[in-house]
Structure formats: C-alpha cells, structure tokens
Amino acid sequence: MEAPEIFIPISLESIEPVIFPDVALYIKTGSNHVLYKSHGRDFSYHDHERLSNNGVEFVFVSKDDMDVITSHMEESAERLLKSDILNSRAKGKMIYQTSINFVDDMFSNPDKTTDLERTKRLIENLMLYLSENPDAIGSLETVMSHNYHTFVHSLQVTSLTLMMHSEAYTLSRDEMLDVGSGAILHDFGKIFVPPEILGKNGKLNDSEIEILKRHPEDGYTFLKNKGVLSPVSLTIVRLHHERCNGSGYPLGLEYRDIPRSAQITGVADIYCTLTTDNQGNKTIPPHIAVQLMRNQMKELFAPNLLDTLEKLVCTEEVQQFIL
C-alpha cells in the first residue's frame, strides 16, 4: 500500500504569487485536502486574492515539495522584508513561515545543522523584521497547527530572546547572531526524545520525564560535535533549563554560574510555554504570565530579566491584541 501523502500548511500571506515555486497547492475542506492548483499552472495574484477573500489562511503543499519551497522562501526573505510589496503583518507571516520551514528542515535532517551561514542568514532576516516592527512582539502569533508546535515554539522563543537582548543590553551584530542561532536550536535535542513521549497526551511518568530532561545535553553534544556553532550558541542549547535557585538541569547551576544568554532564553522559553498551548492557541494573557513567573516561580528567574520581559510584552498594543 502506498504511504499516505503528508501535507504541510503554508500561510497564504507568506506566498508571493507568480514567483512562488511551481508546485501543486491544496486547500482543506473538512478533513480532506483538495487540489486547488496543479503543478504547471501559475498561482496568480487573482488566485491569492480569491482565496484570501474566502477567508483561507493556509494552503497546503506536499511534504515532498518542501525543499524547493524552503529554499525559495529563504532566498526571497531579505528582498521581501526590504520591499514595500508586503505590509508589516504579511512580512511577519512570511518570516515566521520561513523560520518554521527552517527549523522543521533542521530537525528532520540533522546533518544540515552544519550550514551555519544559512542559520545566520535566517536570524539576520528575523532581526531585520523585529527591529523594523516595534510591535512585532504582539504578532508572535502562531502560524501553524499543533504538529508544528516545536517549530513554532522555537521561533517564538528566538524572537523574544533577541528582543530581550536588544532591549536590555548592547550586543554586537555577531553576538546577536550567535544568540539567535542558539535560541532557534535550543530544543534541538528533542530529536532524540521518542515521539510517543514528546506527543503524549496527559502527564509524563517519572522515567519519561527523565528521558525528556536529556534533551539539552543531547542537543549540545550533537551540535558541539558538528563543530560549527559558537560557544554562546552551544551554551544556550545546553543551559536553557538551568534555574537561578539551582533547581534546573542538566547541571543544577546557580544564578551566577548561568550565562546571561541562557537565562534569557530560559525566561523566553517559559513565557512562550505559558502563553501558548500545544495546539498553538493563546492561553493566558501576557501580564498574567509575567505575574505567575514573578510569584509562583519566584526564585527561578532573575528579577531584572522579568522586568525586561514585562516591559516588552505588557504593552498596550499587546493587551489589545490579546483581547
């Protein structure tokens, strides 16, 4: 029997008509994927408009076509970000989609993690978008469905980590690229966690938790052996679950021994986990999440980092976005 075709959702707003690679596009009706445009036919501005007017947010492509789509989107990203063709929201969708494709690609093809130039190009484009859109934090919305949770989450954590660094510290461009590269791969070690544990509905038992807790060290060891990531990026991968009171893992380090970039990624990681569920839905509003981190997770995070987080996420625009 033939294996069922796997479809990947692509946000409609991230698609540039006419020059988008010539692949078959599908739309979802109920639980079926229906062919919208076959290979060999252009996807025109008219098509784009028609779908958009009909409230279509995602089109679907075959997983086999993802390579060509990912390279196209990565190649076009910088040009589109700098142009006026797309409005700020569409630019956000485009950069998020590009980043998610990237993380998906890295997680499915671990050998590609040696392409550091590609990682840096992506982080650079993400930084460009974040720096030109002061309210970008408000649009850290999910663009994917639940099976993409890890990828969407990696991207949200990266965006917030970069923004917290630029809000509170002065880093050189290269340092920011290192921080971003580490943040986008922070959960890379999850490729070593069995899918039945990662995707388990309900509580994990003790032995499953132990396995899950190996992901920072496993990711670090794998990426270190690849020999391309900088020490800062590797530190983020390894230490993003360390906590100020020493209760974290894998090393149980205390506040002063946890590098700042790993602490910030840890704060961003928990904040994004609290505010978005596994299905990609918003859960609790930003100010409640920050309050929770201050009160119920009191000794886990440095108070000055929580101040920075609060300053970024508890703005009026973000409140409006949530309501």
Query: Which stretches of the chain bind Fe ion, using CB under 5 A?
Result: 187
Residue 187 or 218 having the CB closest to Fe ion = 187
Min dist CB 27 to Fe ion, Å, is 34
User: Which residues does 65 contact at the CB level (< 8 Å), separation at least 6?
Assistant: 21, 23, 24
Q: Minimum distance from CB of 186 to Fe ion (Å)?
A: 6
Nearer to Fe ion, 91 or 240 (CB): 240
Q: How far is the CB of 40 from Fe ion (least distance, A)?
A: 43
Is the CB of residue 153 less than 8 Å from the CB of residue 276?
A: yes
Which residue matches tokens 């596994």?
278
Least distance from Fe ion to the Cβ atom of residue 275, Å: 16
Q: Which is nearer to Fe ion, 93 or 190 (CB)?
A: 190
What's the closest the beta carbon of residue 209 comes to Fe ion, in angstroms?
13
224/287 with CB nearer Fe ion: 224
**Which of helix, strand or coil describes residue 21?**
coil
**What is the number of the residue whose Cβ is closest to Fe ion?**
187
How many angstroms separate the CA atoms of 5 and 62, rounded?
A: 7
Q: Which is nearer to Fe ion, 9 or 182 (CB)?
A: 182
| The token pair that represents 200 in the structure block | 């388990």
Instruction: Please list, in sequence order, all residues whose beta carbon lies within 8 angstroms of the beta carbon of residue 134, skipping any fewer than 6 positions away.
Output: none
Residue ranges with strand state E in the chain: 7-11, 25-29, 32-37, 58-62
Which residue type, as a one-letter code, is found at position 252? Answer: G
**Whole-angstrom distance, CA of residue 113 vs CA of residue 186:** 12
